[in-house]
Amino acid sequence: MTAKPIGVGVVGCGKIAQMMHLPTLQELPEFTIAAICDISEKVLGEVGEMYGVERRHTGFQALIDDPAVEAVLICNFDHGKVVEACLKSGKHMLVEKPLAFTPSEGRPLVEAAAKSDAVNLIGYMKFYDEGYVEGCEQIRAAGKPKSIQVHDFAGVFDPYDGLYTLSRGSDVAPELLSKEPADAAARIEAELGPDHVAYRDLYQMLLMLGSHDLAALRGAFGAPETVLYARAPNMSHIIAVLGFANDVTAVLEVSFGAQYEWWDEWMEVHGDTSIVRIDFQHPYVRNAPATVRVRKPANGKGADTVMTPLPEDAFRREWQHFARCIRDKETPVTPIAGGLSDLELALAIIKALPPLKG
């Protein structure tokens, strides 16, 4: 007998929900889209029609309380309070990155999740990218790293909107639209403290873009022990040197705003006798796993092997894993504790920058 699909409620039906999550949920037999929530009535109406979802809410608590909802996808702007409400409800949850905006917000969430029987994942879809998984295996096989570099200059985003049919919330009142970002900014400023408050936008950039890179690094090597160095050439560009056990270091460089037509995000690891490089693909492209290049000696020469996995989709694999966690008690690959670890590292990187008055 086929199992009943898991009813998912989606909070925040913006770009990433429409580009990736909703189509994936619609096509996977493990799930049904039970309800949707957005502060935009226009988005609620258009997305609701497109996916045939009758249960529509403008407040996230109403969605969480909806009896048709067994699991919640959190895709709005300010995640922390939705995660908190979800944990209280005991429903399963998949929260997009970042877990919250500050470690102070994230800590009680992770403590509550540790006491919960529900599945609580963070949406670091790269962990489900077959190219990344293969790359990590190659990195382990290469032995102790002599050098680790993680680089994310991203690329253009807007042209990718045209690849999908998107509904946008042009009806939301400007006061409502600006309220959550203003609240979040105040909480971040308090956490950064007076000497680093001027780096607020840089910290947010590190969370919104760079958290994938912090997570990818953690997935391959564990969380760094220290931040040895950090500098910011400008307020959308950060360079840091991170220290691991046994004198292993990693250079992290994240910058937003490059107008590349290609996606520029990679991790390169130099071992004693080989080099492994993982090139990530644009997050807005479906079925585009990372490619892996391994350079090794062969017959006294250097030889490159390029691995291009089957074009499986990382978001789809993430959802399939989520279903197995719920139904088969599979061990979560991306528990929300990882999201807290990345928030702590992002804050430590910013705090390692020279003090700067706002």
Ligand X SMILES: NC(=O)c1ccc[n+]([C@@H]2O[C@H](COP(=O)([O-])OP(=O)(O)OC[C@H]3O[C@@H](n4cnc5c(N)ncnc54)[C@H](O)[C@@H]3O)[C@@H](O)[C@H]2O)c1
Closest CA to 105 of 207, 194, 218, 210: 207
What would the two tokens of residue 226 be?
Answer: 């220290």
Residues binding ligand X: number (CB under 6 A)? 25
State in angstroms the smallest separation of the CB of 150 from ligand X.
16
Residue 37 in the binding site for ligand X (CB under 6 A): yes
List Cα–Cα distances, 344 to 106, 191, 236, 284, 356, in angstroms. Answer: 9, 11, 19, 27, 20
Q: Which of 103, 283, 332, 339 binds ligand X (CB under 6 A)?
A: 283
What would the two tokens of residue 251 be?
Answer: 């250079």
DSSP-H helix ranges across 66-199: 80-89, 103-114, 130-141, 158-161, 174-192
What would the two tokens of residue 67 be?
Answer: 């009896």
Residue 135 in the binding site for ligand X (CB under 6 A): no
Residue 44 in the binding site for ligand X (CB under 6 A): no
Window 237 to 276, contacts with ligand X (CB under 6 A): none
State in angstroms the smallest separation of the CB of 290 from ligand X.
13
Classified as helix, coil or strand, 232 is strand
CB of 47 within 8 A of CB of 167?
yes
What would the two tokens of residue 208 be?
Answer: 């919104």
State in angstroms the smallest separation of the CB of 260 from ligand X.
17
CA distance 289 to 275: 20
Q: Which of 8, 10, 36, 43 binds ligand X (CB under 6 A)?
A: 43
Q: Which of 169, 289, 338, 339 binds ligand X (CB under 6 A)?
A: 169
Residue 139 in the binding site for ligand X (CB under 6 A): no
Q: Which of 30, 46, 96, 134 binds ligand X (CB under 6 A)?
A: 96
Q: Which listed range, 7-15, 129-137, 148-156, 232-240, lies at the site for ligand X (CB under 6 A)?
A: 7-15
Closest CA to 322 of 91, 108, 155: 91
The 58-77 contact track toward ligand X, x by CB under 6 A, reads --x--------------xxx
Give the nearer residue to ligand X in terms of CB position, either 138 or 204: 204
List Cα–Cα distances, 169 to 47, 190, 323, in angstroms. Answer: 11, 30, 30
Phi, psi of 232 (to 5 degrees): -125, 100
State in angstroms the smallest separation of the CB of 40 from ligand X.
4
The residues that bridge with 78 in the sheet, in sequence order, are: none
Give the nearer residue to ligand X in terms of CB position, either 95 or 292: 95
The 172-211 contact track toward ligand X, x by CB under 6 A, reads x-------x---------------------------x---
Binding site for ligand X (CB under 6 A): 11-17, 37-40, 43, 60, 75-77, 96-97, 123, 125, 169, 172, 180, 208, 283
